[in-house]
Structures are given as structure tokens and as C-alpha cells.
Structure 1
Amino acid sequence: MRHLVLLLALLCLPSCSLFHSAPPPKATHVMYEWDDDKGPGEISVEIDLSSQIATYQRGSRTIGWSFVSTGKEGHSTSPGNYKVSEMMEVKLSNLYGWITDPAGNVSNGDAQPTTPIPEGHTYHPAPMHHWMRLTWSGVGMHAGEIPRPGDAASHGCIRLPRDFVPKLYEVAKVGTPVKILKTGAPKAKLPKAPDADPDTISVPGSPAIGIGRD
């Protein structure tokens, strides 16, 4: 027993950090910029499907931009002029979700309510945080993963960077205009962020599971 205690002590001396949680991954790209002066004028949003970038204005002043992720092939987001018609801190999707096994592990990350559920497994509807509805068929803006900035990846909704969307949600309201267009602009280059403010960059995380239309 004494030898075991000594061995553990020796192991800890040079490398105690091995027993600590790993540092968070370094942010690699700027995902948004936001500088709302809270001055006169209402908020409006313009989303370019070609570049997968949204531009935000207050009155006639541009106050920010962000990457978005709109509908992928087969679930495309339709261009048009919309208005926010509903806002909810958290909305559960009634179209998409995931299935977990009895141990809580994800067994199907892209499931629907009609997907057969194995015995003992559980279906979970996808939560959509800071939900801002655009159509009553289930398209809206909400927080979500953007696995490849510049590429469409959702089931039709507009995913916004998770650390950015609360800023927009705070100043948006029912009636906020949202214009979705396809300009044909080339895919935007990812701006590097080696020393950027952590509040304005996206930290790569796990792949999205079941985030999509309601």
C-alpha cells in the first residue's frame, strides 16, 4: 500500500495537469460582429443564401453581421420578405429530434417523431433556443450549430451562432422584418481570429443533432 501511494505521488508531481479538464479548443474564425448603438430606428435583418451571411441594420445603419446556416439540399430555405411572428426562449421541434439508447447515448441523431423507436430507447424533440418564427410552416431563426461556415446545413430554418443569437433576440420583436435573398455572391472567406475577443468568435463544438424546423 505504501508503494502504491508513493507511485501515485510521483506520477502527480510532474504532470498533475493531466488530471485536470482539457482547456477549451482555440477559436478559429470570426463568426459575427455586433455593434448596436441602441440609437433611433428599428432592427431589420437581411440573409444572403449565397454567402450564408446575415446583415443586421438599425434604421439605415449597419450594426453587425453573422454567418448563418440555412436549409441544405432537399430542405432549402425560400427567398422572400418575412416578419418575425413569434418569439420563444426555447421551442421544441415537432418535426426533428434524436433518439437515445437506455444508457443515454445518441443512437439516431437525425430522427423524426415517425421514426421507429427501438424498445427501451427514447425520442427527444430538438430544442431551438431563442426561437424567432418567420413562417407558420415552421421556418424560423434560432441558435444552432454552424458546422461549416458558408455552407447550408439545416432542415430549412436559419441557424445563428449560439453566442450571438441572444444579442439579436434582445432587440428583435414581433414584426421585425427579415429579407431572405440569393445574390449569387461567391462563398465568403472565413476571417481568421487568432486574437479576437472570445465573445465574438465561435468555438468549434460537437456536430449538430436534430436541430431544424419545428
Structure 2
Amino acid sequence: MLTRRFSPLFALAALAGCAMQPAGPGPDIARVSDNPMTRAALAQTAQVFPNQPLAPGHYVWVADKAIPATGPIRVLVSLRQQRAWIFRNEQMIGMTTVSTGMPGHPTVPGHWPILQKAKFHKSNKYSDAPMPFMQRLDQYGIALHAGTNPGYPASHGCIRLPLAVAKRLYSLTKLGDPVDIES
């Protein structure tokens, strides 16, 4: 059972019995990403969330009862896909669109621990811009946080998440949990 967040148009179509998913098989996983971690996440996506298209700002979670109660949280972000996957005990529990760093303000790939968390943070660099549910990844200001999610890289290096995802992820993670950012 899935918990889904869709646009109102999609919800109306679903109630009317319409299918808005593309016909045919999912993406060619080998062609979509060269990175083995991202390929593995895409393969698991096909099993956990079959034929689930995501428009900018949308996300999916497995049902609460299917999420393990304890265990480490890991986040995988694909810069190329503008997607993030959330795992608990290596079991995928959510997937979302993201908006990462725009040209001139890149989001740096790598393995990052969550260093700091703050529900109500304001940017130290960019005119006190709000960064709700901020989870800092490095000492220079790169963080996961709620923000505009247009479907393409548009941030100053941070990873913007839909508000509901940022809030829920904030409640699940602890300091030191890993965030893997793949190109």
C-alpha cells in the first residue's frame, strides 16, 4: 500500500478511473545512470513504486506500517535525475523530486553526514533566505531543506525538497546519518 501525493488533476483522474501513467515499461535503468548506487535505487523504485511518474514537487512514501520502526536512514540524491530516495535499513521508504545547485552554484557529489539540524533556519549567505527543516551537510552551507522544487537545478547548492518531504525526513534522521549525492 502506498501513500501518494499527486496534483489535484491527477487525483481527479484517479477517482474517475483514468490512468495517467505512461504506457510501456519503465526507464532503461542501464541507460539512465552510470552510477551503480543510482541504478540500484532505480531498480528498487521499479519494484516499490512501479510505473510511478513524478512531476516537480511530488513524492511518494510507502505506507507507515511498511516502514521499519528503527534502523539507519540513508538518503541518495541523483543530480542527473533530480530525484532523491530515502531508505531505512536499506529498504526504500520514499522517493521525491529535488532541486539541486544551478550552474555557478553546484551541489557537490560525495558522501556526506548530516552535521546539524534546525527546523527554522535562515541562510547565513543569501539574505536570510528561509531554509525550513534544514539538515546541514557541510561547513560551507550545503544542506537539505524545504524549498521551491521546479524540476531542474535552481538552488545555490542546497538540495531543495518538497515541504512535506523535508518535514518528514527531518523527523526520521539523526546527526551522522549519511546522504550520498551522485552526479
Common fold, TM-score beyond 0.5? yes
Residue 39 of structure 1: CA displacement?
3.0
1:65-144 → structure 2 map (5 Å cutoff) = 65-97=95-127, 125-144=128-147
Unaligned runs of 5+ in 2: 1-6, 11-54
Residue 39 of structure 1, aligned match among 56, 69, 72: 69
Output the CA distance in 2 between the equivalents of 1:27 and 1:68.
21
Residue 163 of structure 1: CA displacement?
2.1
Residue 46 of structure 1: CA displacement?
0.4
**Closer, same or farther: CA 40–173 of 1 in aligned 2, 3 Å:** closer
Residue 26 of structure 1: CA displacement?
3.8
Residue 90 of structure 1: CA displacement?
1.0
Match of 1:52? Answer: 82
Q: Is the 8 A contact 2:101 2:156 kept in 1?
A: yes
Give the AA of the match of 2:88: R
Give the AA of the match of 1:161: P
Match of 1:176? Answer: 177
- TM-score, scaled to structure 2: 0.66
Residue 45 of structure 1: CA displacement?
0.3
Output the CA distance in 2 between the equivalents of 1:70 and 1:167.
19
Q: Is the 8 A contact 2:73 2:177 kept in 1?
A: yes
Output the CA distance in 1 between the equivalents of 2:116 and 2:9.
32
Output the CA distance in 2 between the equivalents of 1:93 and 1:27.
34
Higher relative contact order (CA 8 A, sep 6+): 1
Output the CA distance in 2 between the equivalents of 1:55 and 1:44.
8
Give the AA of the match of 1:32: Y
- TM-score, scaled to structure 1: 0.57
Larger Rg: 1
Give the AA of the match of 1:173: K
More helix by share: 2
Give the AA of the match of 1:127: P
Output the CA distance in 2 between the equivalents of 1:130 and 1:181.
22
Farther off after superposition, 25-34 or 60-69: 25-34
SS of 1:95's equivalent?
Answer: coil
Give the AA of the match of 1:166: K
Residue 38 of structure 1: CA displacement?
3.3
SS of 1:63's equivalent?
Answer: strand
SS of 1:164's equivalent?
Answer: helix
Q: Is the 8 A contact 2:74 2:90 kept in 1?
A: no
Match of 1:117? Answer: none
